[in-house]
Every structure is written in structure tokens, then in C-alpha cells.
């Protein structure tokens, strides 16, 4: 498989963890999201993903899949071991809900595109942009913290797609200096996950395009 990725992209980071957990070999095609206003805006990449976002995965069929949660579910369906969702329907809904707190409610507000828009189109100062970023991470993490199960992972003893979303968001939050003292469960889950080689190998610093 081929993964269009960028070392700091947290949505791509989620998929890298899934590929590693499933033991699927893949090649990385790096798309720089910052240089020259973002290489994702070039026509070559637009032809791959009309949404011009990372990640995109080229499946063995040649089909290009986009949207990290859809890609993760595709990988889970085609490579069922280890499962990334619990068996019980209620537990599955809970795992998806935690994943979506990050992927649907935190990340879209703090993504490169919206932050760039705040700066260049809305003419906001960096301080205001940082406050915006912190606000939405903290709001989402407060909900995640109270909903997370006793560890070591977000939903208990099994790694789920909730963890695949949480760990990259924690990485981002640390990079943007969001204090995490109020979130002991989240910090504990992050530590437990990063002890697993699949998570460790997916870290931004471990990627071929890391800077």
C-alpha cells in the first residue's frame, strides 16, 4: 500500500499506527503541508485527493481512499487482527465516539488550513490563534478525560481507534504547549500506547520526511 503522509499530520499519524498494528507494509509518499503554501495544493496531489488533504491511502486494488477514520475502518475490515473496535455494539459506539471527539470536534478546528485562514484572511495575531487552538483542545480533552475507561487504553484493555486518534492529538497539543496537568487519564493512555512498537514507529520523529 502507499500512504500519502506528512510527518506532522495527525490524521496521517492515525493511519500509520493502524498500518503498523495490522502489520501491513507500506511506502510513504511525503506531501509537505507547509512549504510553498502546501504541496497538497499542487495539481498532482489534487488529482490524488480532490480534498487536497492528508492522508490518502492507495489500496492494493489501486483505489485511493481518503479520510483517516474511513481508511482505518477499511484496514480493520480487510485485516481483522488485531481488531480496532470492541465486539460489543455499545462498546463499539463508545470507542467511535471517543475517536470522533478528536477527529470531528477537536482536529478540524485546529488544522493547518483553518489556522492559516485565521492568520491570513481573518488577520488574527498569533496570540489569538494560539488561544483558539488551546481552547478547542482543552474542551475536547475535558470530555475525553471524563469518558475514558480505566486504562491502560482509552476503552480499557484493548487498543481501539480512540487511541489511534488520541495519541496524535496529544503530540500536537504538546507541540503547541497546551498544559496537560488536568488530564491524567489522557497522559496515562498516551504513555501506555507509546510503549507499543506500532505507536512508537508511527511517531512523527520516526518518519522518513521528519525535519
Residues in contact with ligand GSH by CB under 6 A are 9-11, 33, 38, 40, 53-55, 67-69, 103, 111-113
Strands 27-30 and 2-5, how do they pair?
parallel
Closest residue to ligand GSH: CB criterion:
113
Q: How far is the CB of 147 from ligand GSH (least distance, A)?
A: 20
Q: How far is the CB of 121 from ligand GSH (least distance, A)?
A: 13
Minimum CB distance to ligand GSH smaller for 55 or for 140 = 55
Q: How far is the CB of 181 from ligand GSH (least distance, A)?
A: 26
Minimum CB distance to ligand GSH smaller for 70 or for 131 = 70
Residue 121 C-alpha cell reads as 484572511
Minimum CB distance to ligand GSH smaller for 20 or for 38 = 38
C-alpha 161/C-alpha 18 separation (Å) is 8
Which three-class secondary structure state does DSSP give residue 149? coil
Beta-strand runs (E) in the chain: 2-5, 27-30, 56-58, 64-66
Q: How far is the CB of 13 from ligand GSH (least distance, A)?
A: 8
Cβ pair 48, 198 in contact under 8 A: no
C-alpha 142/C-alpha 195 separation (Å) is 24
Amino acid at each position: 500500500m502507499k500512504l500519502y503522509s506528512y510527518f506532522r499530520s495527525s490524521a496521517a499519524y492515525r493511519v500509520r499506527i493502524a498500518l503498523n498494528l495490522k502489520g501491513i507494509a507500506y511506502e510513504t509518499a511525503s506531501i509537505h503541508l507547509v512549504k510553498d503554501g502546501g504541496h497538497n495544493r499542487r495539481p498532482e496531489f489534487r488529482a490524488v485527493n480532490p480534498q487536497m488533504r492528508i492522508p490518502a491511502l492507495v489500496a492494493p486494488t489501486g483505489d485511493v481512499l481518503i479520510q483517516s477514520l474511513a481508511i482505518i475502518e477499511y484496514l480493520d475490515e480487510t485485516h481483522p487482527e488485531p481488531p480496532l473496535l470492541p465486539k460489543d455494539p455499545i462498546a463499539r459506539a463508545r470507542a467511535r465516539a471517543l475517536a470522533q471527539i478528536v477527529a470531528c470536534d477537536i482536529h478540524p478546528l485546529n488544522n493547518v488550513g483553518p489556522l492559516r485562514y485565521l492568520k491570513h484572511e481573518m488577520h488574527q495575531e498569533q496570540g489569538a490563534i494560539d488561544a483558539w487552538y488551546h481552547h478547542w483542545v482543552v474542551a475536547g480533552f475535558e470530555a475525553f478525560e471524563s469518558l475514558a475507561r480505566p486504562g491502560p487504553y482509552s476503552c480499557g484493555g484493548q487498543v481501539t481507534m480512540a487511541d489511534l486518534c488520541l495519541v496524535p492529538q496529544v503530540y500536537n497539543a504538546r507541540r503547541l504547549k497546551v498544559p496537560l496537568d488536568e488530564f491524567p487519564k489522557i497522559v496515562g493512555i498516551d504513555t501506555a500506547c507509546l510503549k507499543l512498537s506500532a505507536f512508537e514507529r508511527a511517531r512523527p520523529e520516526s518518519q522518513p520526511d521528519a525535519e
